[in-house]
Amino acid sequence: MKDIGAALELFKASEIIIHPDESVLEKQKNWMSHFLKQELSNTLTQARRLNKHIGLEVDDALKLPFYASLGRLSSRRAIKSYNCLNIGNEDFLKLAVEDFNICQSIHHKELNHLARLYRIGGIGNYLICKIRPPHEYNLDDARMSWAKSGVLTTVVDDFTDVGGSEEELVSLIQLIEKWDVNVDCCSEHVEIISSALKNTINELGVKAFTRQGRSVTSDIIETWLDLLKSGLKEAEWLRNKSVPTMEEYMTNGYISIGIGPIVLPALYFVGHELSEEVVGSEE
């Protein structure tokens, strides 16, 4: 095979494995990977060299499989490796650069908003996390919902795992359960986290109401209560040095992984109306 571009596209296609038994794609992926690595290696030992632009694409594809790539970083690499000489028109490249810069400007504003929000609220003292929200800049509400919820699930997870006592965990759950009732916080940590949760849930609930045409705040609260209670259960296992059965662990882990509070609120902002039946279904 002499067409490196075609080989590269076949390699990318072979990475999209949907069914568990895709032996043909597995073989194709392994063969194409070997072929492309060999071509890159040959450029270092032979006089002939790969086209600069296709060489960058090959290197990126081998280093970063599609499922590990962030959309806008992929766009940035594509801009870098784009070869205008192939089509004799730079307008496509200019359009891509403009689109990328607009998106970056929006992301910078969102990042500054998040940093200011959690610095003022004190939650930043608990925060070390990575998130991968949707990158399309027209989905700004969904992206901010995903980011804020992702931040808080990380904080809550660390608090239930190592940061909070049993008394603090129980107090935090009671504060969320008794949503509109003033309950004394047993510590400053609980006060900060509960305040951040309530502010974020209320904000998302108000925004989602305009998209969904109904109140969804109680649904969001329920996902957070499920997460907090699953974290409390794991803390009890650890404190009592008890070993749950595989079924118990998986059933609880399905919730404690924190997908619910992140995904559900974001879904309210992607354009579809979600009925109570859909939200309440196990699927």
* Whole-number pLDDT of residue 226: 94
Residue 44 exposed, middle or buried by CB count within 10 Å (0-12, 13-18, 19+) = exposed
* C-alpha to C-alpha distances, 88 to 55, 57, 109, nearest whole angstrom: 20, 19, 36
What contacts 40, CB < 8 A, 6 or more positions away? 50, 55, 58, 59, 62
What whole-number distance in Å separates Cα of residue 63 and Cα of residue 59? 6
Length reported for the chain: 283
pTM above 0.85, yes or no: no
* Whole-number pLDDT of residue 86: 57
Per-residue pLDDT of the chain (283 residues; tens, 9 = 90+): 457 778 888 888 888 877 777 788 888 888 888 888 887 777 655 444 555 667 777 887 888 777 777 777 778 877 777 765 555 568 888 888 888 888 888 777 777 776 666 564 455 554 444 455 555 666 788 888 988 898 899 889 888 887 778 888 988 999 999 887 676 777 888 888 888 899 999 999 999 999 999 999 999 999 999 999 999 999 899 888 999 999 999 999 989 998 899 999 999 998 788 888 888 777 6
Check: CB of residue 153 under 8 Å from CB of residue 124: no
Check: CB of residue 217 under 8 Å from CB of residue 142: no
What contacts 181, CB < 8 A, 6 or more positions away? none
What whole-number distance in Å separates Cα of residue 175 and Cα of residue 180? 9
